[in-house]
Structure 1
């Protein structure tokens, strides 16, 4: 049943404007299971997959086409910007800005791989 609810939430978020309605999207993400603080902006094309906990600190921006795969926990600190087309590995602790077209992982998160522009 939980998977069905999460699937429906994902479909709703997909049709919302990319960079608008952040409070509504954040409420849907909280129902989905994300732990969110204050003033968080998540673009509609960002994806969260897996069964682990994802917590996101205050004043954080998550850009378009970001993918977070969590089989354990992912923690994103406060005042962090995550650029477009970023993959965040399971168990990562992100405490500084992440450049676009990268894959990050580890504690603290470091760039693992630079992705090609067309990925």
Structure 2
């Protein structure tokens, strides 16, 4: 019984020291993480996060495709193709999103 208590105590102490070490390292790495986030392309965080309107508007379609509402047909077609390939149902993506993407091209 005593050996079990000693083993549990040593395990808890080791976990505590490991957690303390991780927290120290995280504080030291914070500037590097912030710098790495700043170097990421802005498009990484620029996707449309809003909900869907019952009827697709030109503005909503442009937001979903990531183009300007006044973009020409070739830019719209290129953005539509790129997003359709990324969100294809055969890759296990959501079918409701696929249907909205189909509507966004028109």
Q: Which has the larger radius of gyration?
A: 2
Greater share of residues in strand: 1
TM-score relative to the length of structure 1: 0.24
The structure showing larger relative contact order (alpha-carbon pairs under 8 Å, at least 6 residues apart) is 2
Greater share of residues in helix: 2
TM-score relative to the length of structure 2: 0.26
